[in-house]
Structure 1
């Protein structure tokens, strides 16, 4: 009896699934997509809100905004990691239509639109709070009646909401600073080419083959 085998890596395949079908209907990524599509990026002051008539076409600012919002809520704290996720993450396949912006493009977009990105983050957090996306749960009810009980910690007055918004603002600022720091640190990091990787692998496995 043999082992369970996967698919041949060299086998040509024809996939019939669309990006729409790869994602569950209740996936929060759909909220990110709908939110960003509803924005007027020109009013936010985002650069290249209107594409130029000449030159190489840029990435759409809305695609880069979606990428940053996704990174914020999934704790992805570097432009290089965001680029990597674009290559392998099904949710990002859907969100940015399989685009893979270079990490420098991603970092420059943040640098050139820092104020607008902060406003977008703040607005999206408010949307998530309004939709209860932070603590969403599925509850099955069989028709019984229950007495409602609300803890004091879940009662929000004007003062508590003000403090929460301040903490959100601090968290957004901290996240953007971490992105800047991570990008600066990665500039001095060496990255191997495909040929160098093959050479390293050959050196690694050579003693095992003797």
Structure 2
């Protein structure tokens, strides 16, 4: 049986392109499993449901290896579980010349050895890529700090509020301090979230005593 696995990282992303490719492989729509979440782990509803229906001799299709997952050590473990424990095969459509477990299976014990070496190489390359990404991020942060850039969101202060908001604070500040209105009521009147509200109130107290 042919099975398709589709994953996008967020609910805002469109999975239809991947689904179309699965249908083009002759996969029944009911056998296409879809997840809309990060690929860092494998505790995904669609993926777990797919594994429950895999039987010996089935073929699992994915669009690209990173659609299966982004933690390549975990990807390798899942690859081995599907191809060896469940006795199914995996084809990665983006590069089927390399990522087709049937080719290794046809070579018997030698193919199993070559597959292990191939997966180990994949893990090494992925690990090096992760290190490069972290290094580029660290270099970017260091450069931004050296340039005097503020990497966080700018903190709201009294001057950033509208005239109407400042008027509401002026009219209700003493009521709030006298506990005639609650903090929740006050921040709702101004239209501020909790952390911003208390920062603003601290600023207001410093300015007005």
TM-score norm. by structure 2 comes to 0.30
Per residue, is there more strand in 1 or in 2?
Answer: 2
Larger Rg: 2
TM-score norm. by structure 1 comes to 0.30
RCO (CA 8 Å, sep 6+): is it higher in 1 or 2? 1
